[in-house]
Amino acid sequence: MQKRGLSSVYSAALSGIDAHIVHVETEVTYGLRSFSIIGLADKSVQESAERIGSALKSSGFKSPHTQPIRTLVNLAPADIKKEGTMYDLPIALGFLLASGQAKFPSQQFLAVGELSLNGAVRPVKGTLGFALLAQKKHISTLFVPTENAKEAAFALLNDEQHAALQIIPVRTLKEAVGYLHKAFPLEPARAPSIEQLTQEIFPSFSLIRGQHSAKRALEIAAAGRHNIFFYGPPGTGKTLLAKALSEILPALSFEQSLQVTRIWSIAGLLSENMPFLVRPPFRNPHHTSSESSIIGGGNPPRPGEITLAHQGVLFLDEFPEYHRDALESLREPIEQGEITILRARHHIRFPASFMLVAAANPCPCGFYQDPERDCQCPQTAILKYRRKLSGPLMDRMDILVHVPQVTYKELAATNPDPQEIFAVRNRVLKARSIQHQRFKDFRTNAHMNLKELDSFCALDAASQQMAKKYVDSARLSARGYHRVLKVARTIADLEGHEHISFDHFTEALSYRIKEVQ
């Protein structure tokens, strides 16, 4: 080995859901034996020195721990926090170059992967984001762990990037070095086929017995991406209704799917069996979940449930049982479609455009004002239970639906109509198509601004008179009125009408004010 060896290879770092290029610079010199990693590297990166040494030795190379050499690794730029085990593979490749044990072009590839002690390459988080970054930077080759190959290959469908990226799955460090030396051929990962992009939908919608009003409300919510609140006694099908929503929602567009898959990749929720998402995600956190687990947090910040539900459904069952702080923290992302998390060294913005579906009993025991069963709750307990649902939070719910007990006749009904879900889904798709033409993008009625409300939600005289009655009597807030208009617009779209009629408006109003029903 020469007296001083230098090398630089590409890797990547994550900041929020975005990936950034990291230059892994390695210097090897004769001297007192040491292995140092600098460049704002966390503990998991610092520990890589021991893993890399054992992996190199197991792969037939000389380890830095068995030679009188000083090894210095710099992860640049130094102002981006480096965390995780993804730097093992690029550091090992950089060391082989700097120590003269290997010779290959180092500026033409990007590598990520954790190394085991025997030299095997283990999966890491965020691989899809790294593939998109490599495309953007016109890097020709990306080395990824074999388990992450399908996820990374999803980026090959990205029409916006025309760079000829080759994604090379590697099982061991020795394979990666052999490929770079053109001595060990490896098959590049291929873009997924249409069949692979089709994900199974479980038929819950057709299993719902009765609840025709709730199913109608569910269809409206799906068509316009409206927030919906189910309330009623336990055992009436509120949870089944919420789960059925994901069946009638349209599939994600490619851009949406790419973004959602990146989020799930960063969270470590993808697998070889589910390497990407093409259907809207469905998240159902437990009511004991903390505020940070729901909205995101930590140091460095991690995506929470609202971000994992981006472009999909966030279902909060037993709504009043959640921590008050967690519920109130939903108000900003419901309005903005994103959440900003501030830390001393971090200012991270996560996408969080989700449909909120909430379900609650009318009281702790669930039988308040039930015609058949007596409520066992004292009045103070009922008031405390309902106080958790603040006015500003409930004002952000577009549709409120009572889910009553089903009759025996409905419950015992057999042979549900298997075509019902297809009819509902077709109506939802047609309504979404109308909205796409209206807004010229993938926004829906739920996200109209005030200018668009004026343009697309004009009311006839009778509807205006009814609206005046409830707004002037303070039964309907300004925000509530705007949400009624959005729901009315969706109902009109479902029926293929250009203008909102009195019937459309009264149905929308009935989902907020019970006496209109």
Q: Where in the chain is the domain with CATH 3.30.230.10?
A: 4-180
Q: What residue spans in the chain does CATH classification 3.40.50.300 cover?
A: 205-409
Q: Give the pLDDT means over successive 10-residue stretches in the chain (517 positions).
A: 85 94 97 93 92 97 93 95 94 97 90 98 96 94 97 85 83 97 93 69 71 93 97 89 91 93 95 89 95 88 95 96 93 93 79 96 86 88 86 92 85 72 92 95 92 95 94 90 97 97 97 71
Q: Which residues of 328-348 are buried (b: 16+ CB within 10 A; e: fewer)?
A: ebbeebbeebebebeeeeeeb
Q: Supply the pTM of this predicted model.
A: 0.92
pLDDT of the residue at 207: 76
Residue 484 and residue 41: Cα distance in Å, rounded? 51
Query: Which two structure tokens, joined as six digits, stand for 124?
Result: 């890491």
Q: Domain 205-409 carries which CATH code?
A: 3.40.50.300
pLDDT of residue 313: 97
User: What radius of gyration do the chain's Cα atoms show?
Assistant: 28
Write down the pLDDT at residue 195: 64
**What pLDDT, on the 0 to 100 scale, is given for residue 449?**
94
For the domain made up of 4-180, give the CATH fold. Ribosomal Protein S5; domain 2 (3.30.230)
The values of phi and psi at residue 255, to 5°, are -65, -40
| pLDDT for residue 95 | 98
Which one-letter amino acid corresponds to residue 227?
Answer: N
C-beta atoms surrounding 515 within 10 Å: 8
Pairing of β 69-76 and β 34-38: parallel
Distances (CA, A) of 326 to 286, 330, 434, 444, 514: 12, 7, 35, 26, 28
- Spatial CB neighbours of 9, under 8 Å, sequence gap ≥ 6: 23, 24, 26, 90, 93, 94, 97, 106, 107, 109, 110, 111
Please state, in angstroms and as integers, the Cα–Cα distance from residue 127 to each residue in 12, 109, 112, 275, 285, following that order: 10, 14, 8, 10, 25
Q: What is the pLDDT of residue 385?
A: 87
Contact predicate 23/8, CB 8 Å: yes
pLDDT value for 161: 55
Q: How remote is the C-alpha of 244 from its chain's centroid?
A: 19
- Round to the nearest angstrom and report the end-to-end CA distance of the chain: 84
Joined tokens for residue 2? 């020469």
Q: What is the pLDDT of residue 517?
A: 46
What is residue 347's three-state secondary structure? strand
